[in-house]
Structure 1
């Protein structure tokens, strides 16, 4: 069975703590994220309570089991979108499909948003591919733009406009 056939997005639940601990304890998953690696179930529960539940943050699920997440921060006519996925699901098109689903959901639920944007570390080739396959356009390099894991890094900025929706 193709795992993407049962792919859904839903709000995070406290019962996702074990799944979150599984993928956010993987240094490869958190390498390019602003957050630190999660090492205990209590940290996973705190992350769900303090980050996932207050923000528009959806769990990427296969058969209702959390395998990653998609978040967005909404400000006026634009929103920044981010995502992560458990490493064992990398390279299967799941992140691309989840991102496309999230884009459609955000544009439907927030009609005032005309621009979605994403930042990705210049070394995160996999994320760049996901964004491009989901219809995002690379708008350029932001040099020494943000801190990740204590280092200031260059990032690419990608955008998806509401007029691009037929491509998603």
Structure 2
């Protein structure tokens, strides 16, 4: 999803989701361990503690950002 902002800036979201039949198989943790977002130039911003409820349990959400004006390492 891209939301236009003033001065031709853009904002988007990227999330991980798996079909129900793949839950509990360790797929998402393996993907996160590969640090895909950091390899793509995103920087960790912080953790939203107890941000969502999944399977009746509260879960944290880790936030990353990619700002094109930032120097790319």
Given the two structures, how large is their TM-score scaled by the length of structure 2?
A: 0.56
Partner of 2:23: none
- Displacement after TM superposition at 1:81 (Å): 1.5
What is the alpha-carbon distance in structure 2 between the residues aligned to residue 135 and residue 127 of structure 1?
15
Tell me by how many angstroms 1:147 deviates.
2.3
Corresponding residue number in structure 1 for 2:56: 150
Q: Distance in 2 between matches of 1:144 and 1:83?
A: 17
- Structure whose residues are more often helix by fraction: 1
What residue number does 1:9 align with? none
Moved over 6 A (4+): none
Structure 1 unaligned residues grouped into runs of 5+: 1-72, 86-122
The gaps in structure 2 that reach 5 residues or longer are: 6-10, 19-27
Which structure dedicates a bigger proportion of its chain to strand?
Answer: 2
The alignment covers a number of residue pairs equal to 58
In structure 2, the CA distance between the partners of 1:152 and 1:84, relative to structure 1 (3 Å rule), is closer
**2:64 match: secondary structure:** strand
The alpha carbon displacement at 1:152 in A equals: 1.7
Matching residue of 2:2:
74
